[in-house]
Structure 1
């Protein structure tokens, strides 16, 4: 986090500013103001993996003040101000409080075996499971692999092939844990009885 205070001479052009994702540039001017107190809070949340916005990769923006990497730049100008009380010009940068495990940040190149297995056999699984898409949808919902909202959206798709395709896509996007749970469902006796083709598809799976 960087913080910078400066003042511009009368008639000087206003400074140019640039900020990427999660960063803040403040250039407020307050002149001839009388108040009991003055509070100027700036808060930003740093998100792991967030990328700069508005500029091509490797291209540095041209500006007088540049905030990047979840930083804060303050260029406030306060003149001839009488304040009866405390002055609070606080700046805070907090880390994202998204609970661990609510999203899968594993790069695609390092996905686990279950993700790879489902991805490689996606077409076969779609052709097999679309024979009774409602049945497999009930199972993944019961195991909490999909949320209630996702379940309702999938349930109301009219085409079985589209339902199963969207279901498998969502499971893959959820990452290794969801894919592993899905593979366990595909091995359950009642599922194998409903989809006998699964025996051939999964016979070499771990």
Structure 2
């Protein structure tokens, strides 16, 4: 069987490949080798949110191997190889541990005073801030309390109450430090002028 493969390799045309950023096509050739073990495993990461749209595959040029949507194609050729021990031909597709640009912060502690204050007065804050949700969202984004992705998602929300609710939920999830920075924004003179009710809410929180 290996003699047959070996005779085909010299005259075989190089395969054409079409692959997106989340996929892998392996076309390695291993021949005329001796070893105690062989490892040709494939390891890659796949981000579920970066899957192509339904029409993306049809728009790709024709190729011998087409991989898209986080798929893996292994077209390796192995011939005239002698292995005394283990052979690893495994394929591993993992989810990425973290997103680029994401703010990694510890989960909020229920004992944190800032987290507790915002959580306990969440309803009042929503009622107050939804009066000008775009204004408070811009201040929070400017202080890097939310990421660019989070800002864009909330910015395009059509309902002010939904926008402010999502904003406060994001701040609480980011933990004590983000909550403290958010409260500092609420104390700014220009913010208090826009939302005069904030003074009463923050005063009640201190009592």
Residue 198 of structure 1 is matched in structure 2 by: 198
SS of 2:146's equivalent?
coil
Q: Give the root-mean-square deviation of aligned CA atoms.
A: 3.4
Deviations 1:11-57 (A, max 9, x none): xxxxxxxxxxxxxxxxxxxxxxx95222338899xxxxxxxxxxxxx
Residue 62 of structure 2 is matched in structure 1 by: none
Structure 1: any 5+ residue segments left out of the alignment? 1-33, 45-80, 90-95
With structure 1 as the length reference, what TM-score do the two structures score? 0.53
- After the TM superposition, which parts of structure 1 deviate over 6 Å for at least 4 consecutive aligned residues? 41-44, 86-89
The number of equivalent residue pairs is 128
With structure 2 as the length reference, what TM-score do the two structures score? 0.52
- Deviation of 1:111 after TM superposition, in Å, equals 4.3
CA separation of 1:144/1:42 partners in 2, compared to 1, >3 Å: closer, same or farther?
same
Residue 104 of structure 2 is matched in structure 1 by: 103
CA separation of 1:167/1:97 partners in 2, compared to 1, >3 Å: closer, same or farther?
closer
- Equivalent positions of 1:1-206 (< 5 A) are 35-37=33-35, 38-40=37-39, 82-83=82-83, 102-106=103-107, 110-205=110-205
Note if contact 1:111-1:175 (Cα within 8 Å) is conserved in structure 2. no
CA distance, structure 2, for counterparts of residue 109 and residue 42 of structure 1: 41
Structure 2: any 5+ residue segments left out of the alignment? 1-31, 44-80, 89-95
Deviations 1:78-130 (A, max 9, x none): xxx9548x9899xxxxxx987xx943444x66441111110000000000000
Structure with more of its chain in helix, by fraction: 2
Note if contact 1:111-1:176 (Cα within 8 Å) is conserved in structure 2. no
Deviations 1:46-83 (A, max 9, x none): xxxxxxxxxxxxxxxxxxxxxxxxxxxxxxxxxxx954
SS of 1:203's equivalent?
helix
